[in-house]
Chain A
Amino acid sequence: MILNGTGRLAMLFLIAMLLPLLFFSQQINAQEVTSKANSDVTEILEVKADFSSALLALKQRSLSKRAEAIKQLIKIENPRTIIILDALLIGNLFENRADGSLLIAENQGDYYAASQAETGDSIGRLKKADIKKIRLSNRLRSQLRLLLAQKELYLEDTDIRMQAVKTLAKNPTKEAIQLLKSVADSEQDETIQQEIQLILALQDMTSSDKNVRLAAVESLKQHTSLEAVNRLQHMLEKDSDGQFNEPDKQIRKIAKSALVKIEARLQVYATIKTVFFGLSLGAVLVLAAIGLAITFGVMGVINMAHGEMMMLGAYTTYVMQLIMPNHIALSLILSIPAAFIVAGLVGIAIERGIIRFLYGRPLETLLATFGVSLFLQQTVRSIFSPLNRSVITPDFMSGSLYINDFLSFTWNRIYILVFCLLVFAALLQILRRTRLGLEVRAVSQNRNMAKAMGIPTDKVDAMTFGLGSGVAGIAGVALSQITNVGPNLGQAYIVDSFMVVVFGGVGNLWGTLVSGFTLGIANKVLEPIAGAVLAKVVVLVFIILFIQKRPRGLFPQKGRAAES
Chain B
Amino acid sequence: MKNILRKTGITSVLSALVFMAGINTAVSAEDTIKVGILHSLSGTMAISETTLKDTMLMLIDEQNKKGGLLGKKLEAVVVDPASNWPLFAEKARELITKDKVSTIFGCWTSVSRKSVLPVIEELNGLLFYPVQYEGEESSKNVFYTGAAPNQQAIPAIDYLMNDMGVKRWVLAGTDYVYPRTTNKILEAYLKSKGVDQKDIMINYTPFGHSDWQSIVAEIKKFGSAGKKTAVVSTINGDANIPFYKELGNQGMSAEDIPVVAFSVGEEELSGMDTKPLVGHMAAWNYFMSIDTTKNAAFIKQWHEFTKDPKRVTNDPMEAHYIGFNMWVKAVEKAGTTDSNAVQKAMIGIKFPNLTGGTAQMLPNHHISKPVFIGEIQDDGQFMTVWQTNTLVKGDAWSDFLPESKPIISDWTAPINCGNYNTITKKCSGQKF
Contact = CB atoms under 8 A, between A and B. Distances in A.
User: So, do A and B actually touch in the complex, CB under 8 Å?
Assistant: yes
Interface of A: 63, 91, 133, 135, 137-139, 141-142, 145, 170, 226-227, 230-231, 234, 273-274, 277, 280-281, 284, 377-378, 381, 385-393, 398-400, 402, 405, 408, 410-413, 482-488, 491-492, 523-524, 527-528, 531-533, 536
Nearest to B279: A138
B348 interface: no
A408 B251 contact: yes
Nearest to B46: A386
B383 to A, nearest CB: 5
B46 A536 contact: no
A139 B165 CA distance: 12
Contacts of B43: 488
Interface in B209-265: 209-211, 213-215, 217-218, 221, 224-226, 238, 241-242, 245-246, 248-251, 254-256, 258
Interface stretch (B10-18, B185-193, B267-275, B424-432): B267-275
B213 A230 contact: no
A139 B255 CA distance: 7
B239 to A, nearest CB: 9
A93 to B, nearest CB: 13
B8 interface: no
B301 interface: no
A413 B216 CA distance: 14
A402 B225 contact: no
B250 A400 contact: yes
Contacts of B211: 277, 281, 284, 523
Contacts of B377: 133, 135
B122 interface: no
22 contacts: A138-B255, A138-B279, A138-B281, A141-B279, A170-B256, A227-B224, A230-B225, A277-B217, A388-B238, A390-B270, A390-B272, A393-B276, A398-B275, A400-B251, A408-B250, A408-B251, A413-B213, A484-B242, A486-B271, A488-B43, A488-B238, A492-B208
Contacts of A390: 270-274
Contacts of B204: 531, 533
Per DSSP, are chain A's interface residues mostly helix, strand or loop, or mixed? helix
B58 interface: no
A231 B364 CA distance: 51
Which residue, of B210, B276, B383, has the highest number of chain A Cβ atoms within 10 A?
B210
A483 B210 contact: yes
A385 B279 CA distance: 28
A432 B238 CA distance: 39
B78 to A, nearest CB: 14
B383 A482 contact: no
A352 to B, nearest CB: 28
B46 A135 contact: no
Contacts of A133: 377, 379
A205 to B, nearest CB: 12
B318 interface: no
B206 interface: yes
B214 A381 contact: no
Nearest to B312: A387
Contacts of B270: 387, 390
Nearest to B256: A170
Nearest to A142: B255
Contact of B47 (A281, A377, A486, A533): A486
Contact of B271 (A398, A484, A532): A484
Nearest to A328: B273
B197 interface: no
B276 to A, nearest CB: 7
B205 interface: yes
Interface of B: 41-44, 46-47, 50-51, 164, 175, 204-206, 208-211, 213-215, 217-218, 221, 224-226, 238, 241-242, 245-246, 248-251, 254-256, 258, 267-268, 270-276, 278-279, 281, 375, 377-379, 383, 385
A386 B238 contact: no
B249 A387 contact: no
Nearest to B241: A484
Given A281-B211, A492-B210, A398 B248 contact: yes
Contacts of B50: 385-387
Given A393-B273, A408-B250, A487 B255 contact: no
Contacts of B379: 133
B274 A410 contact: no
A400 B216 CA distance: 13
A137 B385 contact: yes
A411 B249 contact: yes
B256 A488 contact: no
B255 A482 contact: no
Which residue, of A274, A402, A486, has the highest number of chain B Cβ atoms within 10 A?
A486
A138 B271 CA distance: 23
7 shortest interchain CB distances as A-B pairs: A388-B271, A410-B249, A386-B46, A142-B255, A277-B213, A392-B273, A226-B224
B378 A91 contact: yes
A281 B213 contact: yes
A532 B206 contact: yes
A386 B248 contact: no
Nearest to B380: A390
A226 B251 CA distance: 14
Contacts of B383: 135, 137
Which residue, of B249, B276, B383, has the highest number of chain A Cβ atoms within 10 A?
B249
Contacts of A402: 251
Nearest to A385: B50
B40 to A, nearest CB: 9
Given A138-B255, A273-B217, A386-B50, A533 B275 contact: no
A478 B246 CA distance: 15
Contacts of B267: 387
Contacts of B208: 492
Contacts of A377: 42
Given A386-B50, A410-B250, A536-B206, A482 B272 contact: no
B63 to A, nearest CB: 25
B44 A483 contact: no
A516 to B, nearest CB: 13
Nearest to B50: A386
Given A230-B225, A387-B267, A390-B274, A138 B210 contact: no
A381 B272 contact: no
A558 B211 CA distance: 35
Contacts of A273: 217
Contacts of A386: 41-42, 46-47, 50
Which residue, of B205, B213, B215, B225, has the highest number of chain A Cβ atoms within 10 A?
B213
A138 B44 contact: no
B156 to A, nearest CB: 14
B238 A486 contact: yes
B47 A488 contact: yes
Contacts of A411: 249
B210 A482 contact: yes
Contacts of A135: 377, 383
Given A230-B225, A388-B47, A378 B42 contact: yes
B245 A412 contact: yes
A368 B378 CA distance: 43
Nearest to A281: B211
A487 B251 contact: no
Given A227-B224, A393-B273, A484-B271, A387 B47 contact: yes
Contacts of A405: 224
B251 A532 contact: no
Given A137-B385, A273-B217, A524-B214, A393 B245 contact: yes
Nearest to B276: A398
A527 B273 contact: no
A486 B47 CA distance: 8
A70 to B, nearest CB: 15
A399 B253 CA distance: 11
